[in-house]
Amino acid sequence: MTIREATLADIPAIAALHARCFAQAWDEIFLGRILAHPGAVALLAVAQDMPAGFALARAAAGEAEILSLGVNPELRRRGLGTALIRAACLYVDGAGVMEVFLEVSVENTAARGLYAHLGFREVGRRPDYYEDAVGTARDALVLRRALPL
């Protein structure tokens, strides 16, 4: 597996992966808008010449946010999520970022475990932030981690 900075040509693959990972998928237009912002980056994990996962991040004013992280469901529990978070943190650390934030659904126990293992700690909560596939609102936990990771 390799992780590299994504290009505009990778947006369709990232959108397809996002749709496989999330009930409220981000389309190509939305992803393009995110990546057009200064300080935004998309990282793409590739395994056997196929897109396997992604991390989207944005850095500004000494802080960064992991906007989205997804791994192909067939390839989960193999360390790809950990590798992507580490790569995203390394990328933003190089831009002078001192801390990273992210949101995660209270229901997503696998992701919460990954983030806790990497040293992210809860610093807030956003009520009804996410909507699942059947329209039920779920709270998000706001997590923070100082850099370097």
**What CATH number labels 2-146?**
3.40.630.30
Q: Looking at the chain, list the stretches that DSSP marks H as alpha helix, in order from N- to C-terminal side.
A: 11-21, 28-36, 80-93, 109-117
Query: Does the global pTM surpass 0.75?
Result: yes
Could you give the CA distance from residue 91 to residue 12 in angstroms, rounded to a whole number? 22
Checking if the pLDDT of 134 tops 90, the result is no
| Mean of pLDDT over the chain | 94
pLDDT digits (tens, 9 = 90+) for 114-128: 999 999 999 999 999
